[in-house]
Chains A and B, each alone.
Chain A
Amino acid sequence: MSITPEERLDVSMTINGRRYRATVEARRTLADFIREDAQLPGTKLGCEHGVCGACTVLLDDLPARSCLTLAVQAEGRHIRTVESLADGHELNPLQRAFREQHGLQCGFCTAGFLMTATALLEENASPSREDIVETVAGSLCRCTGYQTIVSAIEQAVAEGQIDTKGDDQ
């Protein structure tokens, strides 16, 4: 065998464009690595068994539940968390849409929805209603009743289209 199984390993990954390195237990979840080792607490833990979606991050541009991923599995990968969304000190259009549509109340689930919506819009700037439902149905919210979250995403889609048209001119 070329490598031996280890209980503690060095891991290195890029989060929001910055490299983070640590020696961690093999069992350490990516969520805990992001929150504690990288000190980016915006990603939340709501269930730690992959259902609530609060811990959703982008792993190589795809939405992933960071509580169901080991930190060591993310070796060499690119992670994006909610902290990467704002444009300097300005909310990005998606975040602004959430605010304007009252798509958050306690805010605990919000990072998960933002990341999963970001993945959707990066893949498809004009998602159908069905696409949006498919995306939003994968995360839990106890406060809003969801419709304002959908409205927020729809507003971001509409504004995105306007921007695109502007670029073409």
Chain B
Amino acid sequence: MKPPKFRYVAPRTLDDAVAHLASDLDAKVLSGGQSLMPLLAMRLAAPSVLVDLQHVPGLGNIEDEGTSLLIGARVTHREIERSAVIAERLPILSSAVVHIAHPQIRSRGTLGGSTAHADPSGEWPTILLALGATMHAVSPRGRRTIEADEFFVGPFTSTLAEDEILTHVSVPATRTAWSFQEAAVKKGDYGLALVAATGIPRDGVLLDPRVAVGAAVGSVRRLAEVERLLAEVPMTDVTADEAAVAAAASIDPISDIHGNSEYRRKLVASLVRRAVRELRNGA
């Protein structure tokens, strides 16, 4: 299982990286490589050029911006796992990151790479959607930001343009009520269902609840019906069971050898029930 031929370049500036990516339609960004390399080994991808970001400065920091954290695209899962500022300001990330594969993958895989890959079974797309994160990207046309709600549009499909590089992810740190739930058969497996729920607790009410589901569905998405339930009533009255039923009814789960749609529907219901209970208890 050897990769197909490609050319490789490791530019030293972001401008050079953008230029290389733009110069060839089939050029692809190489970050940690943990998602891309298996595709290459299986010859499911055949890029013409790999643009390695490892020498581009400024993409590997975690900056505290007050109400949000700005995380560079090249920050590794391992760095997130060990980051004191993330543990304090965004504990949902610390909680979720240990579900990503194994330490040997986390030492190389990056937030930016996983996010741009937009794998519906990946932890970051679901969590960034639940946090209402903002992606920062750069292309020959300049810089722009893309809200999470507009970023993940299908399985392995984001709204990043072919010649765009994700440079940072800005994550609000105000959503102090949170829950992350994953059902995976073995440690580090792709989850069969992922649920992330966040909100801003204020006087017994959950403001702006965001609930996202991944893995059990073809594309990560929010559960609007569950969010409505959570927003309508004071937290103490919300029944987790109602939320679970609403979630189960609103999704169109996928079916594959790891679980059929009926099973995944039940899983999502259970995970939503757990997430809502955790949100309530945390408030």
Question: Which A-chain residue is minimally distant from B108 (CB atoms)?
Answer: A64
CA distance A115 to B37 in the complex (A): 21
**What's the nearest-Cβ distance from chain A to residue B224, in Å?**
36
Residues 111-152 of A, flagged 1 when their CB comes within 8 A of B and 0 if not, give: 000001001100000000000011101110000000000000
Question: Which B-chain residue is minimally distant from A68 (CB atoms)?
Answer: B37
Question: Which B-chain residue is minimally distant from A51 (CB atoms)?
Answer: B38
Chain A residues, Cβ within 8 Å of B11: 1-3
Q: Is B57 an interface residue (CB 8 A)?
A: no
Residues 69-87 of A, flagged 1 when their CB comes within 8 A of B and 0 if not, give: 1101101000000000000
Residues 22-37 of B, flagged 1 when their CB comes within 8 A of A and 0 if not, give: 0110010010011001
Contact status of A73 and B5, CB under 8 A, knowing A49-B38, A50-B38: no
For this complex, 8 residue pairs linking A to B, each with C-beta atoms less than 8 Å apart, are: A1-B11, A1-B19, A1-B20, A49-B38, A65-B34, A65-B104, A119-B103, A138-B102
Q: Are A69 and B9 neighbours in the complex by a CB distance under 8 Å? A: no
Q: Is A48 an interface residue (CB 8 A)?
A: yes
Q: Is A38 an interface residue (CB 8 A)?
A: no
Q: Is A56 an interface residue (CB 8 A)?
A: yes
CB under 8 Å from chain B, chain A span 32-71: 48-50, 53, 56, 59, 62-65, 67-70
Which residues from chain B sit less than 8 Å from chain A, CB to CB?
1-13, 16, 19-20, 23-24, 27, 30, 33-34, 37-38, 40-42, 49-52, 54, 78, 98, 101-105, 107-108, 186-188
CA distance A1 to B16 in the complex (A): 6
Q: Which of A48, A50, A70 contacts B34 (CB 8 A)?
A: A50
Chain A residues, Cβ within 8 Å of B10: 3, 72-73, 75
Chain B residues, Cβ within 8 Å of A67: 37, 41
Chain A residues, Cβ within 8 Å of B49: 5
Chain B residues, Cβ within 8 Å of A102: none
Chain B residues, Cβ within 8 Å of A134: 98, 102-103, 187
Q: Which of A12-20, A23-31, A93-101, A161-169 contacts B (4 or more CB under 8 A)?
A: A23-31
Contact status of A63 and B1, CB under 8 A, knowing A50-B37, A68-B38, A137-B186: no
CA distance A135 to B187 in the complex (A): 11
A-side interface residues, number (CB < 8 Å): 38
Q: Are B104 and A138 neighbours in the complex by a CB distance under 8 Å? A: yes
Q: Are B108 and A5 neighbours in the complex by a CB distance under 8 Å? A: no
Q: Are A48 and B41 neighbours in the complex by a CB distance under 8 Å? A: yes
Q: Are B103 and A63 neighbours in the complex by a CB distance under 8 Å? A: yes
Q: Are B107 and A62 neighbours in the complex by a CB distance under 8 Å? A: yes
Q: Are B103 and A4 neighbours in the complex by a CB distance under 8 Å? A: no
Chain B residues, Cβ within 8 Å of A49: 1, 37-38, 41-42
Q: Are B40 and A27 neighbours in the complex by a CB distance under 8 Å? A: yes
Contact status of A64 and B107, CB under 8 A, knowing A49-B38, A70-B33: yes
Q: Are A70 and B105 neighbours in the complex by a CB distance under 8 Å? A: no
Contact status of A116 and B104, CB under 8 A, knowing A7-B6, A29-B3: yes
Contact status of A2 and B40, CB under 8 A, knowing A63-B103, A134-B102, A137-B188: no
